[in-house]
Structure 1
Amino acid sequence: MSELSQQEKLEDLPGVGPATADKLMENEFDSLEAIAVSSPSELSAKVDIGEKTAINIIDAARKEADIGGFETGNKLLEKRANIGKITTMADDFDRLLGGGIETQTITEMYGEYGSGKTQIAHQLAVAVQLPKEKGGLNSNAIYIDTENSFRPERIKQMARSLELDEDEVLDKIYVARAYNSNHQMLLSEKARELAKKIKEEGEKIKLLIIDSLTSHFRAEYVGRGSLAERQQKLNKHLHEVIKFTDLFNAAALVTNQVQSNPDAFFGDPTRPVGGNILGHMATYRLYLRKSKGDKRIARLVDSPCMPEGESVFTIGEEGIRDA
């Protein structure tokens, strides 16, 4: 759809004239869906309109885009037919997740250093480019790198093992290095702009990777006095990620660091950083840990539809595979 027809659609909303439509377009509220999933405070601040006007615009956009109302379970089941799955390249790992990494959700993977988080992130950036019959979505990926851990050489190894064109695979992964938490949050917003541009060019972005989600937040907000501010910013960041997955029917994979719980006298004292905010926002939570040699264990800790369980996989030169 052309920019002109998009603007005309926006001008049909109550309280939106040509000037307001221009501001909406300039601030990436360039579709009914983008407006429908925004908050009144966000729309009001970015477009410089009253919050009451913002509420009316959002309500009208939700009605036009058929977003946000009550629906029957069967209607939702029909919509879930559009959900895609990205293979991890290990059949048993895919089984644990009900077929792979799911679109329109956040999947969190946490574990100690060397547990395989970044390796899986690299593998998924390659796997999402595969055709659907091979477990991919025939799409591109965005990779936000916060720890300088992205390695194009590793991508080439994984692509080679799947007999894919190595340079073409790299061309379909858009990488940005985040230097602090504010930059990381800005990049998650820019990801929406990039995905829209790619879509206009006839391609698709179906995977957003943030490796790792909490590294900068953990380093910059130290001590209990800054915990509330950290969690508030993390919450805002995750809402932007969810918005991305909804708008583009994309999957989000976030890796997470861990810390030791000194109060745990029994069992594994390891717990993920991010607290309840991340716990509630992630649809699937996976705990990764090392095993013997090149083997790793993935434990599904939380899922709305899959039972808790474990899967053993290997990390080799070719990538992630069954043990």
Structure 2
Amino acid sequence: FDLSEEEKNGSYWLGNHALDTMLHGGLHAGSITEFAGPSGVGKTQWCLYIAILSVLAKKKSNCNITVMYIDTETAFRPERIVEIINNKYPEHTTEIKEYLSRIYLYQPKTVSSLSEILESLEVIAVEKDVGMLIVDSIASLARKEIPATSSYSNIARTNQLASWAAKLKCIAQQLNICVVVTNQVTSRFAPEEPFITEEIQAVDVEDGELHPGWSDKTFSHHVTPALGNTWTHCVNTRFILQYTDSKSRQLIIAKSPVAPFATFSYTIGEGGIIIEEHDSFYS
């Protein structure tokens, strides 16, 4: 189908025609997209790749937007940005410094420092002409500082995450910014079982928002909300990232206002994310 002008102007492509078309142009301004998955599955690699695609695409269209990148786990590597551009877009090698200058990096170490950054988002976004905000990861600092050891700490953590979620939702909608967040989960599955874990807040099961194509067997007993209902409702699009074997990985569209249930196999190479279209499934 053809994308409307509104979809084109407010879209941030993911670099794969089938996936971007299914999402009506990729990721969208004014919305929150979550990448959830276990450690090492490639959440940060997706964030770096999306940041690169965003500055490249907007520069090409003469749009001077920037990317605000909040890295709570000190996982951001500028040398990885350089490697991806050199291998995927060698024609832009001479402009690497300019592209890096369009990515504003923040690395808060505490819950309070992250809260301060989020409280300043409106001013920062306007001053720096931010078009995309990436938070990698949204819950790691809360998990470190507010361990779930009691009902009180659980409530405190939930309230903190709810506060951040409300702020991100407000910023996304009021300033028409594309917000991308990552959420870590713990892998606790048997080899023969679906790679969805108890901690992942993958689908709004309690609200009956299962995608066409999901079944009770697909989720078994492994899916329960992890970050509370407030967070669940704030996320517009949710991707689950999971391992399919020791080398292969898979992206699942678990929640989307426009896309059907779908899975895309992907690998991570020197040039970033590579989606294997021959090994994809759509409902």
- Shift in alpha-carbon separation, 1:278–1:171, aligned structure 2, 3 A: same
Does the 8 Å contact 1:286/1:302 carry over to 2? yes
Q: TM-score, normalised by structure 2?
A: 0.76
- Shift in alpha-carbon separation, 1:312–1:99, aligned structure 2, 3 A: farther
In 2: Cα distance, 1:136 partner to 1:304 partner? 29
Match of 1:220 among 135, 145, 149: 145
The corresponding residue for 2:207 is none
- Is 2:254 the partner of 1:301? yes
The corresponding residue for 1:208 is 133
- Shift in alpha-carbon separation, 1:225–1:292, aligned structure 2, 3 A: same
The corresponding residue for 1:310 is 263
In 1: Cα distance, 2:124 partner to 2:178 partner? 15
Does the 8 Å contact 1:93/1:298 carry over to 2? no
Alpha-carbon shift at residue 83 of structure 1 (Å): 5.8
- Is 2:232 the partner of 1:279? yes
- Shift in alpha-carbon separation, 1:294–1:153, aligned structure 2, 3 A: farther
- Is 2:165 the partner of 1:238? yes
Q: 5+ residue gaps in structure 1?
A: 1-77, 199-203
The corresponding residue for 1:57 is none
In 2: Cα distance, 1:192 partner to 1:154 partner? 29
- Is 2:98 the partner of 1:173? no
In 2: Cα distance, 1:274 partner to 1:96 partner? 27
Alpha-carbon shift at residue 156 of structure 1 (Å): 1.1
Alpha-carbon shift at residue 189 of structure 1 (Å): 2.2
Between 1 and 2, higher relative CO (CA 8 Å, sep ≥ 6) is seen in 2
Match of 2:183 among 256, 269, 273: 256
SS in structure 2 at match of 1:233: helix
Does the 8 Å contact 1:109/1:286 carry over to 2? yes
Does the 8 Å contact 1:93/1:312 carry over to 2? no
The corresponding residue for 2:206 is none
- Shift in alpha-carbon separation, 1:259–1:225, aligned structure 2, 3 A: farther
Alignment coverage as a number of residue pairs: 239
SS in structure 2 at match of 1:310: strand
- Aligned-pair identity in percent equals 29
Higher mean displacement: 269-278 or 175-184: 269-278
> Structure 1: which amino acid aligns with 2:19?
F
Alpha-carbon shift at residue 97 of structure 1 (Å): 2.8
In 2: Cα distance, 1:282 partner to 1:87 partner? 18
Aligned Cα root-mean-square deviation (Å): 2.7
- Shift in alpha-carbon separation, 1:134–1:276, aligned structure 2, 3 A: farther
Does the 8 Å contact 1:158/1:317 carry over to 2? yes
Q: TM-score, normalised by structure 1?
A: 0.67
> Structure 1: which amino acid aligns with 2:114?
Q
> Structure 2: which amino acid aligns with 1:251?
C
Correspondences of 1:62-81 after superposition (within 5 Å): none
Q: Per-residue displacement from partner, 1:30-76 (whole Å, max 9, x unpaired)? A: xxxxxxxxxxxxxxxxxxxxxxxxxxxxxxxxxxxxxxxxxxxxxxx
In 1: Cα distance, 2:257 partner to 2:62 partner? 23
SS in structure 2 at match of 1:128: helix
The corresponding residue for 2:32 is 106
Alpha-carbon shift at residue 260 of structure 1 (Å): 5.5
The corresponding residue for 2:218 is none
Does the 8 Å contact 1:299/1:309 carry over to 2? yes
